[in-house]
Amino acid sequence: MPSLATFGETMLRLSPAAGDRIETATQLDFQTAGAESNVAIAASNLGVDSTWISKLPDSPLGRRVTREIRSHGVEPSVTWTEEGRQGTYYIEQGGDPRGTNVIYDRADAAIRTTTPSEATECVDLESMDAVYTSGITPALSSQLRETTATLLERARSAGATTVFDLNYRSKLWSPANARSCYRSLLESVDVAVIAARDARSVLELSGDDASIGRELAETYDPDVVVVTRGEDGAMAVDGDGRLHEQPAFPAETLDPIGTGDAFVGGFLASYLRDRDVSSALEYGSATAALKRTIDGDLAVVTPAEVDAVIDDAGGGIAR
């Protein structure tokens, strides 16, 4: 069984019923959510031995997070602290033209003070097949920028495949601040996942999506660059310069939040087994389609369900 460690913040997700406003709601649904734990949970459900690394307040709210993460087969590796708080976010899901709005309440969260030793010494990096984090984590504090860089460097030195999803969040930092950080981190990344829109707006790349993937591959020399394209699916450039394309699988969308994390979790579950990029893209896309039918951030799916999505599509892969 392949092994994966992820590092990042998990928040409590509070949401009124679809269509309700937070300012008038009388009830809120109470779940956990965070890109890195979302990826770990998706991968765990698909047969990966997954660990989630973080720092939490030693409080009922912090313990609520670890309890749910553990319930999905992921082992929390947490530094507990008496300082800092548990981050939360609120989500209003409305139809057009209002759309969906996310309101963060994560100032002074405990994870912001995580040191390199706290992130790297709580797991045996040499035993991990892959280590994943996202661009959300270094956006949270200058301390986390240092810690994220150190984690990727030490994981790669330990022989783990390093995985980084740009995952740009405009409510956390500006494109200019994110750009310099991302460019530095990508030097230590083996598998890079980047939304085409973020490659253009944050990294200031131009051209079509394939050109963006090839430019990133030539600049940073990772094993794989995955470019996600929303409803147009995903594509990847491998270490030999070959282009792989995968359309999105159709899905009735009940909750789109967490779809990108589900894609990464599915991609890694396949890629870490056999290193076949085309199969991993297909598996990730099928996992993402299933997630869109599930309420909340988490891809609570099975390998049989992912296989069924792929089989029912009759192939549908362009290579």
For the stretch 218-260, pLDDT in tens is: 999 999 999 999 999 999 999 999 999 999 999 998 888 899 9
pLDDT for res 140: 97
Q: How far is CA 235 from CA 12, 224, 256, 284, 296, in A?
A: 32, 10, 20, 11, 26
Q: Which residues carry out catalysis?
A: 261
DSSP for residue 231: G
Domains of the chain with CATH codes: 3-311 (3.40.1190.20)
Reported as a pLDDT band with limits 50, 70 and 90, residue 317 is: very low
| pLDDT average, residue stretch 274-278 | 96
Across residues 49-56, what is the average pLDDT? 98
| Terminal CA-CA length for the chain | 28
Q: What is the pLDDT of residues 103-150, one digit of tens each?
A: 999 999 999 999 999 999 999 999 999 999 999 999 999 999 999 999
Q: Is the pLDDT of residue 314 over 50?
A: no
- The residue among 19 and 214 whose pLDDT is bigger is 214
Report how far Cα 36 is from the mean position of its chain's Cα atoms.
Answer: 5
pLDDT surpassing 60 at residue 319: no
Predicted local distance difference test score (pLDDT) of residue 19:
85
Confidence of residue 5 (pLDDT cuts 50, 70, 90): very high
Task: Using alpha carbons, list the distances in angstroms from residue 313 to 42, 248, 281.
Answer: 21, 10, 14
Cα–Cα distance between 268 and 45 in angstroms, integer? Answer: 12
Distance CA 251, CA 131 (A): 30
Nearest to 75, CA basis, from 57, 56, 58, 50: 50
255-271: average pLDDT:
96
Q: Residue 21, Cβ neighbours under 10 Å: how many?
A: 11
Closest to 186 measured CA to CA, from 203, 200, 211, 172: 203
Q: Do the Cβ atoms of 151 and 185 come closer than 8 Å?
A: no
Residue 315 above 60 pLDDT? no
How many other C-beta atoms can be found within 10 angstroms of the C-beta atom of residue 124? 11
Q: Residue 93: count other Cβ atoms within 10 Å of its Cβ.
A: 20
Torsion of CA 205, 221, 242, 266, to 10 degrees: -90
Using one digit for the tens of pLDDT, what is the confidence trace for 57-77?
Answer: 999 999 999 999 999 999 999
pLDDT at 10 over 50: yes
pLDDT in tens, 155-207: 999 999 999 999 999 999 999 999 999 999 999 999 999 999 999 999 999 99
What is residue 255's predicted lDDT score, i.e. its pLDDT?
A: 87
pLDDT confidence tier of residue 313, bands split at 50, 70 and 90: low
Residue 237, Cβ density class (10 Å: 0-12 exposed, 13-18 middle, ≥19 buried): buried
Q: What is the mean pLDDT of the chain?
A: 94
DSSP H or E run through 138: helix 136-139
- Cβ proximity of 287 and 263 under 8 Å: yes
